[in-house]
Structure 1
């Protein structure tokens, strides 16, 4: 594991027609099974990568999860051959910007961890023990994270059972950080540290609670990905970001503020489509990975790859 530095990519000879920033849970992996369940998602990502479309996975997931659940099936479908061609590039930003790595023809490359945004070890240890002692019947502690803490719904537990337990966990974990003197926010609740600062937050999702630095979010991940792609040469002017939560709009926010032609694909629009100065795309009645599959299929067809 590499802790610092930037990994370069081969310089492309032409500007790609499109760039993609993809959330993983929802548009790529099923939020139920936590894996890629639609075969066309795998094959279309390989086709797009092979056509020179720069693709970044911008996710709160760990590098280990993306390696096992995303990169491994992509390699089995021919990603290695696709990325061995000139002018191809794929990148992963994990834990919402705290960890990143290139994706190469051989798989996930050396990871870089931003230790400056990590929770103190004593707090992580107490949160792990809290889950084991009081919440292990409904959730589990994600041991693959490097900088943030994620506690996730067990796949054998229903949403109806998980959600009220998640609320109790959120309150208990908030109290842990407060007791350690760590400034923390949960929704409208704040407990500042001794300096009056609130450097960490609890971010509940439909399947987990993340405890993370306030500096981490999808716009930070988007910035990291663009920096990586830009080191290889001119970037596409046309970009699409894809996600299932309101925070995923931050990827498109960053692209828009940087002057790119961007639209955001919302694969869970019933949670509320945000008002933005760029186009918001939905895939009819389709949601989650079915919407993600439709979106990718559209571009494979549009670019004449199938």
Structure 2
């Protein structure tokens, strides 16, 4: 029996194009329906995110399973930008694997946890679900502008803690090597969080892991789309392009600046975040002749 060729492959950031950055949930019903339709059409779907496995389990996998994922598909999650990974089936998440080699030392994580509790608990919280990286996130009941003001102060304090512990760290234009001259960690700012992570973690690293998993299940499609709301999300498409695939990147927050790349960059008109993500998925449901997309 000839192998069914996948018409398309998708690498999707979660916060922004799939989950609302305000509610932190999949707030647009068509996104769930269209992901299930595309998965059933043999489209490999990778969730490439800085989020934790627990977050993806609760906010992405659970609603997909409840809505009825197909029994045969290729779906995968790579969390914490490549430090954590797992397969996804119609029964839910498979075994979660953690790369402990990229984890922040627990003594430093503990200092940052305490810093948030004592000085910044009114605007942010320490994400206890992360297994390798450290993330501190905006409280959903706090105004974005107020959070960003506190975030700037918090990041300077976290940078100082890491230097105090002798860790090599990069924070924006500031670089402080460790005793050996190395800089193995960075502080990465997003609109709703601060990630403190190994420099070995990023969306290209995560994309490579997802493609390796998909290749185990059959031939890879030549046509790919990556979707994200941060400049670092372009690295998914960077990896696909370097590997020789036909790729375009969909930027759902182009106001941050569209990067100059050797592949097409797509925007969904004036739509942003999960509204743009919903429009993108609906377009491919129709383009592949899989039926009418559910209204967003």
Shorter-normalised TM-score: what interval? over 0.9
Between the two proteins, the alignment pairs up a number of residues equal to: 290
The answer to whether residue 9 in structure 2 is matched with residue 24 in structure 1 is no
**In 2, Cα distance between equivalents of 1:293 and 1:222:** 21
What is the match of residue 175 of structure 1?
160
What is the match of residue 23 of structure 2?
33
**TM-score, normalised relative to structure 2:** 0.97
Q: Give the one of 28, 42, 53 matched to 2:32.
A: 42
2:249 aligned counterpart, secondary structure: strand
Q: Give the one of 250, 262, 272 matched to 2:247.
A: 262
Unaligned runs of 5+ in 2: 292-296
Unaligned runs of 5+ in 1: 1-11
The answer to whether residue 270 in structure 2 is matched with residue 285 in structure 1 is yes
1:166 aligned counterpart, secondary structure: helix
1:273 aligned counterpart, secondary structure: coil
Q: Give the one of 88, 97, 107 matched to 1:122.
A: 107
What is the match of residue 3 of structure 1?
none
> Where do 4+ consecutive residues of structure 1 move more than 2 Å?
none
What is the match of residue 204 of structure 2?
219
| Shift, 1:104, TM fit | 1.1
What is the match of residue 294 of structure 2?
none
Partner deviation per Cα, 1:195-238 (whole Å, 9 max, x = no partner): 01110000010000000000100000100000101112210000
Whether the 8 Å CA contact 2:68–2:90 is kept in 1: the answer is: no
What is the match of residue 131 of structure 2?
146
1:240-259 equivalences in 2 (<5 Å): 240-259=225-244
CA RMSD after TM alignment? 0.8
**TM-score, normalised relative to structure 1:** 0.94
Q: Give the one of 197, 209, 216 matched to 1:231.
A: 216
| Shift, 1:13, TM fit | 2.9
Partner deviation per Cα, 1:28-82 (whole Å, 9 max, x = no partner): 0000110000000000000000111000000000000000001111111111xx1
